[in-house]
Amino acid sequence: MVAALELYLDTDATRRVRTLWRALEEEGIPTLGSLHHKHRPHVSLAAARTIDPDAAAKALDGVPDGRGLSLRMDFAGQFVGRVLWLGVTMTPELMDHHRLVHERLSAGGVEVWEHYRPGLWVPHCTISMRVPNPVMAPAIRRCLEILPLAATVTGAAITDHANDIAHPL
């Protein structure tokens, strides 16, 4: 089970990522588009095994939800465990927003995984959580076909898709 604070992308960027998901699915590569059928393209600012959405919302009270932040995805990457993603180029605005969110979550007693904390976080838009090793290289090439991808953040939510939680911020 994974819970996250997700930043959502504008309509055009969402459409382009969903098109990528469909192309990969047609090639037999599972994507977030087919995982629980609830995911939407996003960039996670924080993640943990569980996040109490009410506690997180209270901790983030008064913090902007990220709407209007400009994101640019310029590269594709892979995490250990067959996770494929589009890499978000860090900007001072994104770094400041991420740091503020984590300061407030920490002050509110909301625990998150260490690798999502400032200084360790790799901003990304997950494409697949389980790319079969023999097709990772072709999947990365497919991702590169849609790059660069500019996006604007249109909203945020605390989510836990396995438990049907989507708490808008």
Please name each of the domains of the chain with its CATH number: 3-161 (3.90.1140.10)
pLDDT tens, 123-162?
999 999 999 999 999 999 999 999 999 999 999 999 988 8
pTM for the structure as a whole: 0.94
Please count the helices (runs of H) and the strands (runs of E) in the chain: 4, 7
**66's torsion region: left (phi>0), alpha (psi -120 to 50) or beta?**
left
Q: Quick check: 35 pLDDT over 70?
A: no
Residue 2's pLDDT band (boundaries 50, 70, 90)?
A: confident
Residue partners of 36: CB distance under 8 A and separation at least 6: 161, 162
